[in-house]
Structure 1
Amino acid sequence: MEIKIRPVGFVRSPFMRREEAPHQGRLSMEESEIHIFPEYRDAMEGVELFRYLFVLYWQHLAERDVLKVVPRGKKRKRGVFSTRAPARPNPIGLCLVELLDSGDFLRVRGLDALDGSPVIDIKPYYEDIDSPGD
């Protein structure tokens, strides 16, 4: 089975290299922009109603042939599906961001994507659904 994903936009970020990006977006107060391609701008209607959004993006500089990594702060390798490492068979990034402004582009805080990263999708964060409430 082949899956084709078309980017809906791209990221403008202060992070040019992987070493510059935070390991988790919530650890950064940096602002980024999400630019949506013209053919998808109608899909932006209503995003301004939300304070937080999930951004799914393609980690275009990540390795794709890695199945095990040593997680940060650990000593032993684990399978990438049990980590948040960017290196994985399908390097899809997921980041919860704070929406600061919307218009021709989204201005967000807390995005860990590199500059130029293709955006795959944007979804609203619903606290009652997305937080398990342990």
Structure 2
Amino acid sequence: MTGPREMFEARDGEQKLENDPALMPADGGIVFIGRITSPWTTRETCPKNMRTARATGQPAVLTIDAPFRPGLQGLERASHVIILSWLHHAPRSLIVQKPRHAADAKGVFSLRSPARPNPVGLHVARLVGLDIGTGRLDLDAIDALDGTPVIDIKPYFASTDAIAEATFEGRDER
């Protein structure tokens, strides 16, 4: 299998899985419900997180495919949405990674890197506009490449989704 995932070179200290999850039989079916339109066309230009994406001032659009548009009913009440995306260009075989900004390698589950066995992206965006008829969600920003598939959308509830006391010891804000 050739593709964008093979462009990633392992850094010192990184460890690959024996079997690439992209080549394993699926445990469940994922259905893409739409796509993201963003100004980001390369990994190098794409913001690394939503804070950086917002700082660019570049809005984004999420378009939901026709069969799933009725599921948008009621979403206009939300100021923010949680978007789950499928980071289809990310490698899936790295289980230990060494981020550029880190001194030591870390397990994938302690990182927010897109490179992971199941490359699910998590984005919390401000919902700027919604047109259920066309399936268009206008967003304040996004940290995903143009054309990234969307697997789910959920309303963000500050009362239950925000955890003020949450910490991650030694967290690097990058």
User: C-alpha separation between the residues in 2 aligned to 1:52 and 1:26?
Assistant: 14
Query: Corresponding residue for 1:124?
Result: 155
Query: Is 1:78 aligned to 2:90, yes or no?
Result: no
Query: Is 1:90 aligned to 2:118, yes or no?
Result: yes
Normalised TM-score (structure 1): 0.95
- The alignment partner of 1:18 has SS state of coil
User: C-alpha separation between the residues in 2 aligned to 1:18 and 1:37?
Assistant: 25
Letter in 1 for 2:151: I
- Return the offset for 1:124: 0.7
Q: 1:1-134 alignment to 2 at 5 Å?
A: 2-28=27-53, 29-103=57-131, 104=134, 105-134=136-165
Contact 1:27 1:110 in 2 (8 A): no
Choose between structure 1 and 2 for higher RCO, CA contacts under 8 A separated by at least 6 residues.
1
User: C-alpha separation between the residues in 2 aligned to 1:40 and 1:112?
Assistant: 23
Q: Percent identity of the aligned residues?
A: 36
User: C-alpha separation between the residues in 2 aligned to 1:63 and 1:15?
Assistant: 18
Instruction: List runs of 5+ in structure 1 lacking aligned partners.
Output: none
- Return the offset for 1:47: 1.2
RMSD of aligned C-alpha atoms? 1.2
User: C-alpha separation between the residues in 1 aligned to 2:106 and 2:30?
Assistant: 28
Letter in 2 for 1:84: R
Contact 1:65 1:88 in 2 (8 A): yes
Higher share in strand: 1
User: C-alpha separation between the residues in 1 aligned to 2:100 and 2:162?
Assistant: 24
User: C-alpha separation between the residues in 2 aligned to 1:73 and 1:25?
Assistant: 18
- The alignment partner of 1:88 has SS state of coil
Normalised TM-score (structure 2): 0.74
- Return the offset for 1:133: 2.3
Letter in 1 for 2:62: I
Moved over 6 A (4+): none
